[in-house]
């Protein structure tokens, strides 16, 4: 007597059936934890706009990395917060600069058990807060910046990094860094390219996390949120120049770009679930407006479903723990 011909609900009836037919998996190995390390701090410093995230000291960073390895995370990405900044971001190249010493600390602790990735960008190290060096008119000078990136990549490789993450959105950055690494004998060091990186309001809390001194915006080098095809183009250019992994950033407003990039390239695709995306969810959860743990896992699963093989997320360690209990 009638009734629907198709009954998709049949496969949703029990947890075991839902597990059987789940199209997307979320696993600790797919999650990469971004971490901040501060040169000045003697205690970990809370970041007020990112509840639960801290600026680490060198020793608390090493503990966090050991824990990440223990949890089976995919890796860590290191960001340095230097005490001194200058016009050319020289602290990024200095072997004694905070990021380079932190890389060495973490690698000494985890060895090959955990991929250690470094942000390769000048914004944390420049007194003007831009991702590159400026020309006489105060504009970001693409090709002069490439020379600094090359030196910074080599310094990070010498410190023992597994992969560098060029994130400044300068044209040609992946090729120049690849050549410099190879010429310095570091052909084994990989490149996680921030390929489609948008000029996003959702990086706001990150600027507090790295004590950014930026005045103005990054719209002459980061992409216009209106453009999707351009994100695919950027990813293809980076693969051509030697990127081992390409990344889309932010994640949630750009899941269409994640999908298009996933369909266009033949290397792993990462997506960065950025600071503002983290803080939005945390703020809503703090008000009791959403179920925090469920929303975290749903967010990360959705980024995976859109096509990201790898997700950078401030929830990486917590999500790995949640996954162990399900
Ligand atoms: C640049 C960099 C930024 C982020 C990661 N790398 C900031 C920016 O481009 O303004 C943002 C990450 C986040 O918001 O979580 N070094």
User: Can you spell out the DSSP letters for 257-293?
Assistant: HHHHHHHH-SS-EEEEE-HHHHHHHHHHHHTTSS-HH
Query: Cα torsion at 59, 60, 65, 69 (round to 10°)?
Result: 110
Mean pLDDT over 309-319 rounds to 98
205 CA closest ligand 1 atom index: 14
pLDDT of amino acid 215: 85
150-192 per-position pLDDT tens digit:
999 999 999 999 999 999 999 999 999 999 999 999 999 999 9
Residue 74 — pLDDT band, cuts 50, 70, 90?
very high
CA triple 244-245-246, angle to 5 deg: 125
272-297 per-position pLDDT tens digit:
999 999 999 999 999 999 999 999 99
pLDDT of amino acid 150: 98
167 lines ligand 1 (CB under 6 A): yes
Quick check: 42 pLDDT over 80?
yes
Residue 232 — pLDDT band, cuts 50, 70, 90?
very high
Mean pLDDT over 103-130 rounds to 97
Selecting among 130, 178, 186, 249, the annotated active-site residue is: 249
Mean pLDDT over 99-110 rounds to 98
Output the CA 284–ligand 1 centroid distance in Å: 22
Name the pTM for this structure: 0.97
Mean pLDDT over 32-41 rounds to 96
Mean pLDDT over 318-326 rounds to 95
Quick check: 1 pLDDT over 80?
no
CATH 3.10.450.50 fits 25-324, yes or no: no
Residue 17 — pLDDT band, cuts 50, 70, 90?
very high
Output the CA 275–ligand 1 centroid distance in Å: 8
Taking all residues of the chain, what is their mean pLDDT, rounded to a whole number?
97
Task: Collect all residues with Cβ–Cβ distance below 8 Å to 126 and sequence separation of at least 6.
Answer: 85, 86, 87, 88, 89, 133, 213
pLDDT of amino acid 288: 98
ipTM of the complex: 0.95
Residue 161 is classified by DSSP as -
pLDDT of amino acid 326: 81
274 lines ligand 1 (CB under 6 A): yes
119 lines ligand 1 (CB under 6 A): yes
* CA-proximal residue: ligand 1, atom 10 (nearest): 203
Distance CA 235, CA 19 (A): 33
Whether 63 is a known active-site residue: answer no
Whether 197 is a known active-site residue: answer yes
């Amino acid at each position: 007597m009638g009734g629907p011909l198709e009954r998709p609900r049949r496969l949703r009836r029990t947890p075991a059936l839902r597990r059987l037919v789940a199209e997307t998996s979320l696993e600790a190995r797919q999650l990469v934890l971004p971490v901040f390390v501060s040169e000045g701090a003697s205690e970990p410093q809370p970041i007020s706009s990112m509840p639960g995230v801290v600026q680490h000291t060198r020793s608390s960073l090493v503990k966090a990395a050991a824990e990440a390895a223990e949890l089976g995370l995919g890796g860590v990405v290191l960001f340095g917060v230097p005490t001194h900044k200058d016009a050319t971001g020289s602290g990024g190249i200095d072997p004694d600069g905070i990021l380079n010493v932190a890389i060495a600390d973490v690698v000494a602790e985890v060895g090959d058990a955990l991929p250690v990735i470094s942000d390769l960008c000048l914004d944390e190290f420049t007194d003007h807060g831009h991702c590159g060096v400026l020309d006489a008119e105060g504009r970001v000078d693409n090709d002069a910046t490439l020379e600094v990136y090359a030196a910074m990549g080599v310094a990070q490789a010498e410190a023992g990094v597994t992969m560098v993450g060029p994130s400044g959105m300068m044209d040609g950055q992946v090729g120049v860094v690849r050549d410099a690494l190879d010429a310095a004998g570091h052909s084994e060091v990989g490149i996680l390219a921030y390929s489609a990186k948008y000029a996003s309001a959702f990086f706001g809390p990150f600027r507090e996390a790295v004590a950014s001194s930026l005045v103005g915006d990054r719209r002459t080098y980061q992409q216009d949120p209106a453009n999707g095809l351009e994100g695919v183009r950027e990813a293809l250019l980076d693969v051509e120049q030697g990127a081992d992994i390409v990344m889309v950033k932010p994640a949630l407003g750009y899941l269409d770009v994640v999908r298009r990039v996933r369909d266009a390239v033949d290397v792993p695709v990462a997506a960065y679930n950025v600071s503002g995306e983290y803080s939005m969810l945390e703020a809503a959860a703090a008000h009791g407006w959403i179920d925090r743990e469920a929303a975290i896992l749903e967010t990360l699963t959705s980024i995976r479903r859109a096509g990201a093989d790898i997700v950078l997320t401030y929830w990486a360690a917590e999500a790995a723990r949640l996954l162990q209990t399900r």
